Amino acid sequence: MLSTLLLLILLLVPADAYAMHISEGILPFDWALLWYALATPFIAYALVLIRKRSEADIAFKPLLGLIAAVVFIISAMPIPVPIAGTCSHPAGTGISAILLGPFISVLVASVALLMQALFMAHGGLSTLGANVVSMGIVGSLAGYITFRAVRRIGGGLGLAGFTAGLMTDWATYTATAAELALGIKGDGPFTPMFIKILIAFMPTQLPLGIIEGALTSGMVLLLYRKRPDILRRMGILRRMGILKQTGAGA
């Protein structure tokens, strides 16, 4: 209910229309097409996974819808970075990758990005493929791999959630900087343009990454305290022998 109310507020309250994500039309056609081609197999595979998991667990679709709303809300908070042709913002795909897996998280990000492009003037349709690759694919994989790696070496849910959220955010913007540099460098070298765009993101994205890490950690720990059954069903907690620690264990 709360997520629906926040979604309505974001859609209905007048606000400046900043070019969130990568702006409409900023990428040449061939690069835009390439990013679409790269994103499409991930989205198709996510649809297959959703169908299988929905058949196995009738509670999966409501959980999927809730997480999709959370990702939409988190990623719809722009901080303009004018010289980069885009905005800084939290990604939100860390939590979806942790709970749903990286591939379904790609589809969650795709839906959020499409809605923002259509209804909020954030991003665009021509750059949707590139935004899906950076926020959906790269961000989700970075968050998922980081979370699992920290848990594997004995890190607790709090630490794993924080590092996953942090790496999701920073990986998303590293990928975005690379996409922008490839698209707008022309005949010039890639590296100087990439570094320039990456530096433009740093004043906003370095602290935002830390904030997103804290937010992701808080969500995971909240679920652990209030709804551990969800974490067990998603394979995040073992069914037996769970250590009841918050920051360092669990």
Tell me the pLDDT tens digit for each residue of 30-42: 999 999 999 999 9
Q: What is the DSSP letter of 25?
A: T
What residue has token string 């540099």?
181
Residue 146 belongs to a domain? yes
pLDDT band per the 50, 70, 90 thresholds, residue 140: very high
Residue 176 belongs to a domain? yes
pLDDT band per the 50, 70, 90 thresholds, residue 6: very low
Taking 3-state DSSP, the helix, strand and coil percentages for the chain, each rounded to the nearest 5, stand at 70, 5, 25
Amino acid (one-letter) located at 219 = M
Amino acid (one-letter) located at 141 = L
Mean pLDDT of the residues in the chain: 83
- Condensed to tens digits (0 to 9), the pLDDT of residues 144-172 reads 999 999 999 999 999 999 999 999 999 99
DSSP-derived secondary structure for 125-169: STTHHHHIIIIIIIHHHHHHHHHHHHHHTT--HHHHHHHHHHHHH
pLDDT band per the 50, 70, 90 thresholds, residue 90: confident
Q: What is the pLDDT of residue 234?
A: 83
pLDDT band per the 50, 70, 90 thresholds, residue 250: low
Take residue 175 and report the two structure tokens written for it.
Answer: 């990928």
Domain of 210, in residue numbers: 21-233
Q: What is the pLDDT of residue 102?
A: 95
Closest CA to 140 of 91, 176, 202: 91
Beta strands in 44-95 (DSSP E): 79-81, 86-88
Contacts of 118 (CB under 8 A, 6+ apart): 125
CATH number at residue 98: 1.10.1760.20
Calculate mean pLDDT across residues 37-51: 96
Residue 250 belongs to a domain? no
Residue 4 belongs to a domain? no
Closest CA to 137 of 100, 102, 174, 164: 102
Residue 242 has a CB neighbour count (10 Å cut-off) of: 14
Residue 44 belongs to a domain? yes
Cα–chain center distance at 195 = 22
- The pTM for the full model equals 0.83
- Condensed to tens digits (0 to 9), the pLDDT of residues 75-85 reads 877 666 555 44
Calculate mean pLDDT across residues 56-71: 90
Q: Is the pLDDT of residue 236 over 70?
A: yes
Residue 193 belongs to a domain? yes
Residue 12 belongs to a domain? no
Residue 247 belongs to a domain? no
Number of domains within the chain: 1
Q: What is the pLDDT of residue 86?
A: 53
Better pLDDT: 132 or 70: 132
